[in-house]
Amino acid sequence: MFAQAGGVTVDTSGMLRRLALVLAAVLASGGVAAPAAAASGSCLPTGGGPRCQVWTGKVVRVGDGDTLLVDVTGDGRNNPRWIRLINVQAMELTVYSTVASRRRGQCHAVAAAARLEQLVRAGGGVVRMTAQHASSASKNRPLRAVQVRIGGVWRDVGLDLLRRGLTLWQPFKGEYAWNAAYRAAQARAAQDRLNLYDTDACGSGPSQQAAISAFVNYDAEGLDERNLNGEYVRLDNASAAAVPIGGWWVRDSGLRRYTFRAGSVIPAHGSLYVHVGTGRDTATHRYWGLSSPVFDNPTDDERALGDGAYLFDPKGDMRAWMQYPVGTRPPA
């Protein structure tokens, strides 16, 4: 490409190529807006780890504790997109609003949304988003790890939320770069009894002083898919009195939930099992009725996979849990 400048013919094609290379280098470092085709850079704001595709954008608003509406720079769209945080699961809002005081939801749901909003505001609304695979999505929302720049440093919002005990670690098999740091952050929050791990944060619930713990048998004998009932959650009661748990529920890090019917109890100095598959309920064995395994087996490789089981009372307090492979549970 040639242009006339002051009577001199200038070859601008070389200039444009050099400019494009400079912009690509800046974008790969996470500096400014991403082009329509995402740049490549470190998945993690601290560097290291596998390579990711990198985008930037401007947050239009926070939906809840794990979802943002983002105007993605250079994506060729005329409207912003809902972005789902990778490997983070917030408690659910029931009333959504751009006005924080109007939000309602499960215990800790409003607090998680408020913290995410605070981080975005501190970063001036600009976010850096990374993913190992551009196609990764949840309910048609692109899955992205999201960072905000505060004090000249990129900070991972998912890591912040997990470390504060405001969200659950929810690994996605195809997006593993963050798993090791995320599961360690959740384990530390549980150890420090923060927010979700404060067993009466939502108010004193039934049998509040009972010593309840949870155990996950995530690896059934043989193939998990063929032995669904070999995968189970066991709730243990070390107390001298039975604990009624009608209306309580147990869940994994996703939204799969089993709710205990009226009359359910964890026996004194005994256990109650929730098997993943189907069967006839008894006093101490219940059946989730699912058609596929719930709990992923953990890995010791770079994927750092795992999961957890979480027991909630009707107040919304998490009363017992087991995270694996790094697990903590409330003291008896």
**CATH 2.40.50.90 residue window(s) in the chain:** 27-195
Please report, for residues 25, 73, 81, 257, the alpha-carbon distance to residue 144 in angstroms, rounded to integers and kept in the order given.
Answer: 21, 14, 12, 25
CATH 2.60.40.1260 segments of the chain: 205-324
Q: What is the rounded distance in angstroms from the CA atom of residue 1 to the CA atom of residue 191?
A: 63
Q: Is the peptide bond before 325 cis (omega within 30 degrees of 0)?
A: yes
Q: How far, in Å, CA of 3 to CA of 16, rounded? A: 12
pLDDT digits (tens, 9 = 90+) for 155-196: 999 999 999 999 999 999 899 999 999 999 999 999 999 999
pLDDT at 326: 67
The rounded radius of gyration (Å) of the Cα atoms in the chain is: 23
pLDDT on residue 29: 41
State the amino acid at position 180 in one-letter form. Answer: A
pTM: 0.85
pLDDT at residue 327 tops 80: no
Cα distance between residue 87 and residue 179, in whole Å: 7
The fold of 205-324 is Immunoglobulin-like (2.60.40)
pLDDT in tens, 195-254: 999 999 999 989 999 999 999 999 999 999 999 999 999 999 999 999 999 999 999 999
Lowest model confidence (mean pLDDT) among 29-43, 46-60, 317-331: 29-43
Domain 27-195 - what CATH class? mainly beta
Please give the structure tokens belonging to residue 141: 């929302």
* DSSP-derived secondary structure letter, 175: B
The single residue listed with the structure tokens 């949304």 is 113
- 151 — alpha (psi -120 to 50), left (phi > 0) or beta? left
